[in-house]
Structures are given as structure tokens and as C-alpha cells.
Structure 1
Amino acid sequence: MTTALARAGHRVTGIDPALASLQAAQRRPGAGGVRWRHGTAQDAPSAAFDLCLMTAHVSQIFVGDRDWHGVLRQVHRALVPGGRLAFDMRDPAARAWEAWDSAGEREVWSLPDGTEAETWCEVLDVSGHVVRFAEHTRFLPGQDVLTSTSALRFRSEAELRTSLHAASFEVEHISGGWRGERVGEGCGELVVVARRS
């Protein structure tokens, strides 16, 4: 998304705490038009951005309320007055995690270099609105399995509205999908646009 926005003529900064992700992004076509920063929202300059995008459900990695409120405060600081925050989160009412557990089924992916990878997911625990899961990958041919575990927080529309208001954002719109559907009538997403008060 960063390179597409840069190609469209926007001044874009991409911030990510994962150095490997930044290095991969910098190899993409059009990456030279993006200013890349290794860090988090805390490392963003103050009052520097018209828009902050948190993509690919990254909003869900902030499991604890303290962490979530902290990132909202940092984004608020980095936005100009009237600047907007946009992000996506899976709607907990859609219970997406029920489809994640592979139940032994595995997918095989062909990577650009010709390598094949077999992947599967295992839901480890659902506690309230926090889902812990393991993603398994085996590069073929081979026996070694790489496993990464993670936890995601599913916040309801009401929780999102409350937390955004507490961080001095005005919610402009929350839809239930990418075509502006009402919450509960889309694809199980919560697509949020809020404005810095």
C-alpha cells in the first residue's frame, strides 16, 4: 500500500518494527518513493501526517488495553489536527478464528524462487476476545517445521468507539466490509475511519 500511495503522488512514510519486513518492502517496485523508518508509532514525528493507516489487521496485535491506548495516543500525536486514522479489525461477532484451525488440512504455496512451502494453522486458545494460535510452515522438501505463535485481540464496534473517543478521536465511520456495508452485514470486518479532534 505504501508504494501504491507513493506512485499516486503522495508523500509516504512506512514505519515498521520488523527490520526484515522493511528490507523486503524496500525491494518492491516503487519503494524509492517511500521514506522508510524502523520503529513504531512512538518513533513517528509529532504533527507530521495527514493520515495514518494501520493495515492487515495490525490493530489486533495490541492485545492489552494499555498497549492499544498507548498506540492510539502515539498516532494522535503524530497526526496533524484533523488528521485521520484508518484501520481494519476483524469483527468478533463473525468469529473468524473458527475457520483458522486447519484440522490437519494443509496448503502448499509456490514461492517466487520456485520453493514450495506447506502451511497450516492451529488455534491454541480462545479466552474472551483474545485468540492465541500457531502458524506452522514446512519448506519442501524437508522435515523441519517452523512454528510461530501469536495472539490477537478482537474488539467490538462499541469497544473501538470507546477507546477512540478516550484517545481524542472522533469516529467518522465504521463499516462491516470493504464496500461500506453496515456492521454485521459485510465480510466480517470492522473498517474504521476516525479523525483527530
Structure 2
Amino acid sequence: MRNAEFNDPRLIQVYDAQCRWSSDDDLFLALANEMPGSRVLDLGCGTGRLTLALADAGHTVLGIDPARASLEAARLKPGAERVTWMEGTAADAPVQAFDLALMTSHVAQFITGDEEWQGTLAELNRALVPGGRLIFESRDPAARAWESWAADPSADRYRLPDGSSVEVWTEVTEVLAGEPSGPLVTFVHHYSFSASPEERLSRSTLRFRTEETLRSSLGRAGFEVEHLFGGWHREPVGQGDGEFIVVARASGRGRTEKPRRSGAWG
């Protein structure tokens, strides 16, 4: 199944075991807290690790994700009642309702098509108030992270809530140049559970956009890049963790009209 770790309830448990709070969450939360009490859109919120922390920090948060199973898991977590959860995409976000929009956990890279990416940025521009910020990360293709995935086929073991364990390893199956936007990398996660002989698979493709592509696509969507970091401690590009961490501001340019939603979010 494609992106099964977000859609298969069993693999969602594995995802939560793998993806604990880390330095990336520290940075995103710190950047959000630069604007206390913000209205925040967490696009691709998944099972809500950062979403819940944002609400706990006093922000008003809408978490949107297309994966129903991930949202169901998020709604069961402590504090979930403080977040508004929505199944959908950026197109479902209300207009000019947010001070800040986030895409974390490399959500931006799962949007592989150029038109879909440009459309997502346009929708986020409409969702933000003029001057609102967009923050997201995307791996720097110059770091060639997929080569380390392919070079290390060893499995990592994780303990699950029911006491069983799972071994996870990643197989890179295809790397396409993807010019001019950046490489397209397809890989398969393999899951072997101690409580079952069945192996489950999750296939995904990520777009590794170049810095030039990110800057130009943001500009076309009406964003101005304020900061571009290379790591989780705000290092310069090429000197950090092999990331592009983008902080951009909605200038108002490139907006098109879209009907407002009624209710709490617009």
C-alpha cells in the first residue's frame, strides 16, 4: 500500500513508536511561539505529535490531514479536544484564517507533482492572513539522504503499546533525476512483527526539491522567503542536517478569490 504508515492502523502505531519528539519539533514549536496565541494551520498533521504541543502552548490549532486513520489516532491522544481536526488537504482550509501555517515531518516532499505543489502553496497563501508565515522543511538534495538509506539495510526494532515488537528497514527502489525540480526517490518500508509472520509494506515517493525550485515556487505563490536554514539549530544551508527549513511570509501577491467558509474557521 502507498503511504501505508499513515493509513494502516497497525503501522500508525509503528510510526508513533519511530517518530518521537525530536530537535525538529523543538525548532518548529520555538518558531511558532515567536507569535504567542497564533491561529495555526498544521497541514499534514498526522497523528498530532506537534499539533497537540502547539495547542498546549496556547495556540488555536486546526490539524488537516488526508489520512483518516492517522486523524483517528490523533483524536484518541490526551489533549486532542483542544485541537480542531479535519480530514482533507490545503484546499479545505478556510480563507485568511491563520497567522501561521506549518508542514512538518517532510510533508512537503510527499507532494511530488509540480502542479500539485504549486497549488498547495497557493491554497496556503489564501489560508493565511496578509503577513502570515509559512514554515516547512524539505531535505536538501545535495545531501543525498537516500544513499544512506540504501547503504544501510539493517532493521531497527521498536516496542509497541501491546508489548510486542516490530523490525523496520527501508529499501530504495528507484531514483529519478526529476529535472528541473529535483530528484524523485521511491522506497519501501518493510515491517516484520514479532506477533505475526506477516510482513507489511509501505511504498512512498518523495520529491527532493532544489533550493532554486523552492524559492521560485514560493515566489510564484506570493511568498517572500525570510529565512532558509540548513539544520535544526538554524545553521546555514550546507552546514546543518541536510535540510532546507523554510520560513516564508505571505505578501498578498498571487492571491485569488475563494469563497469563505462559515463557522469557527472563517
TM-score (normalizing by structure 1): 0.97
Residue identity opposite 1:49 in structure 2: F
Residues 102, 120 of structure 1: 8 Å contact kept: no
Using the alignment, how far apart are the partners of 2:144 and 2:229 within structure 1?
Answer: 17
SS of structure 2 residue aligned to 1:155: coil
TM-superposed CA distance for 1:143, in Å, is 2.1
SS of structure 1 residue aligned to 2:52: helix
TM-superposed CA distance for 1:194, in Å, is 0.5
1:99-122 CA-partner distances (Å, limit 9, x unpaired) = 112654212211122121111100
Using the alignment, how far apart are the partners of 1:104 and 1:142 within structure 2?
Answer: 21
Residue identity opposite 1:119 in structure 2: V
TM-score (normalizing by structure 2): 0.72
Residues 102, 121 of structure 1: 8 Å contact kept: no
1:18-76 CA-partner distances (Å, limit 9, x unpaired) = 01111111112211110111111110111111100001000001111111101001111
Instruction: Name the structure 2 match of 1:149.
Output: 203
2:152 aligned with 1:99, yes or no?
A: no
Using the alignment, how far apart are the partners of 2:153 and 2:224 within structure 1?
Answer: 44
Instruction: Name the structure 1 match of 2:217.
Output: 163
Tell me which moved more, 90-99 or 101-110.
101-110
- Among 169, 184, 203, the residue aligned to 1:130: 184
SS of structure 2 residue aligned to 1:101: helix
Instruction: Name the structure 2 match of 1:14.
Output: 63
SS of structure 1 residue aligned to 2:201: strand
Using the alignment, how far apart are the partners of 2:77 and 2:112 within structure 1?
Answer: 30
Using the alignment, how far apart are the partners of 1:15 and 1:103 within structure 2?
Answer: 33
TM-superposed CA distance for 1:141, in Å, is 3.5
1:67-99 CA-partner distances (Å, limit 9, x unpaired) = 110100111111111111100111101101111
Residue identity opposite 2:198 in structure 1: D
Q: How does 1:178-197 map to 2 (within 5 A)?
A: 178-197=232-251
Residues 103, 122 of structure 1: 8 Å contact kept: no
Residue identity opposite 2:130 in structure 1: P
Identity %: 55
- Give unpaired runs (5+ residues) of structure 2: 1-49, 178-182, 252-266
Instruction: Name the structure 2 match of 1:112.
Output: 161
- Give unpaired runs (5+ residues) of structure 1: none
Residue identity opposite 2:56 in structure 1: R
Using the alignment, how far apart are the partners of 1:58 and 1:66 within structure 2?
Answer: 16
Instruction: Name the structure 1 match of 2:53.
Output: 4
Using the alignment, how far apart are the partners of 1:39 and 1:64 within structure 2?
Answer: 18
Residues 119, 137 of structure 1: 8 Å contact kept: yes
Instruction: Name the structure 1 match of 2:15.
Output: none
SS of structure 1 residue aligned to 2:105: coil
Instruction: Name the structure 1 match of 2:41.
Output: none
TM-superposed CA distance for 1:171, in Å, is 0.5
Residue identity opposite 2:61 in structure 1: V
Instruction: Name the structure 1 match of 2:259.
Output: none
Instruction: Name the structure 2 match of 1:60.
Output: 109
Figure out how many residues of one structure are paired with residues of the other and give that number. 197
Using the alignment, how far apart are the partners of 1:141 and 1:23 within structure 2?
Answer: 24
Instruction: Name the structure 2 match of 1:78.
Output: 127
Using the alignment, how far apart are the partners of 1:87 and 1:139 within structure 2?
Answer: 33
